[in-house]
């Protein structure tokens, strides 16, 4: 029993882990939201998030794309289910979106509030609302999920062992990539410094050579001048 307690996470930490799983393992979320979506808070049944609008979130009018909102209704509903303690969040049965106004442009921040209103043995019912930087409601959606398989063998707010292993592997791979990038940058910087030193050395040698030639010319001129005076 103590081992289970040790593995049990707070709703916020648990939902963050589920979001990381989406970002690491889903093709859509990894492309759309990897570096732009973050959890603000999570309690049992509710999740608040923030999206920093980036160019790939917009349409050709340069405003937030309706497809981005729809994807966030899908993801927000899943995270609302996760806030009830479920790591597996089921599959969609229906999804609806109403657009009230523009969600913003690149650089704007969109606030997302997701809630799981009811959860049973087979279905979970969620709502997601979107607010601009002035707290105006700009869109809202609903998302129903089939969760019959997700609830089987679930330990509330406990990350399954295989998911924990996948998470640790992803963390290690990111750390390795960061180290490799840092090493590459350091090598490039050292190379630039060496090239600069070599260039400076060549210039110094050229200057010294030019100085020697000048001195030789001056000496030769002085000899000629002396010879002419003797004449």
- Model pLDDT for residues 197-224, shown as the tens digit of each residue: 666 766 667 667 776 676 766 666 656 5
Any idea which residue has 């030769």 for tokens?
220
Higher pLDDT, 27 or 152: 27
Mean pLDDT of 23-29: 95
User: What are 123-175's pLDDT values in tens digits?
Assistant: 999 999 999 999 999 999 999 999 999 888 899 999 998 888 887 887 888 78
Residue 204 has a pLDDT of 67
Q: What 3 state SS string does the chain have?
A: CHHHHHHECCHHHHHHHHHHHHHHHCHHHHHHCCCCEEEEEEECCEEEEEEECCHHHECCCCCECHHHHHHHHHHHHHHHHHCCCCCCCCEEEEEEEEECCCCCCCCCEEEEEEEEEEECCCEEEEEEEEECCCCCEEEEEEEEEECCCCCCCCCCCECCHHHHHHHHHHHHHHHHHHHHHHHHHHHHHHHHHHHHHHHHHHHHHHHHHHHHHHHHHHHHHHHHHHHHHHC
Higher pLDDT, 1 or 97: 97
Is-contact 34 56, C-beta < 8 A? Answer: no
Residue 78 has a pLDDT of 98
Residue 231 has a pLDDT of 43
pLDDT(74) > 50: yes
The chain-wide mean pLDDT, for the chain, equals 88
Q: How long a stretch of residues is the chain?
A: 231
Higher pLDDT, 216 or 29: 29
Higher pLDDT, 181 or 229: 181
């Amino acid at each position: 029993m103590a081992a289970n307690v040790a593995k049990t996470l707070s709703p916020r930490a648990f939902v963050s882990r589920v979001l990381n799983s989406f970002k690491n393992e889903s093709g859509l979320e990894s492309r759309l939201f990897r570096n732009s979506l973050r959890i603000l808070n999570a309690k049992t049944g509710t999740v608040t998030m923030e999206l920093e609008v980036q160019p790939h979130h917009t349409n050709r009018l340069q405003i937030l794309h309706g497809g981005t909102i729809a994807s966030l209704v899908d993801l927000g509903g899943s995270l609302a289910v996760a806030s009830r303690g479920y790591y597996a969040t089921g599959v969609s049965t229906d999804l609806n979106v109403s657009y009230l106004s523009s969600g913003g442009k690149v650089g704007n921040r969109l606030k997302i509030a997701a809630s799981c209103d009811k959860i049973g043995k087979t279905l979970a019912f969620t709502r997601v609302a979107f607010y601009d930087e002035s707290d105006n409601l700009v869109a809202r959606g609903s998302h129903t999920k089939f969760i019959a398989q997700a609830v089987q063998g679930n330990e509330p707010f406990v990350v399954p062992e295989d998911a924990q292993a996948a998470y640790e592997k992803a963390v290690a791979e990111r750390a390795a990539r960061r180290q490799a990038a840092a090493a590459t940058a350091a090598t490039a910087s050292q190379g630039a410094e060496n090239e600069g030193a070599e260039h400076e050395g060549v210039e110094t040698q050229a200057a010294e050579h030019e100085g020697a030639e000048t001195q030789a010319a001056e000496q030769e001129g002085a000899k000629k001048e002396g010879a002419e005076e003797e004449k």
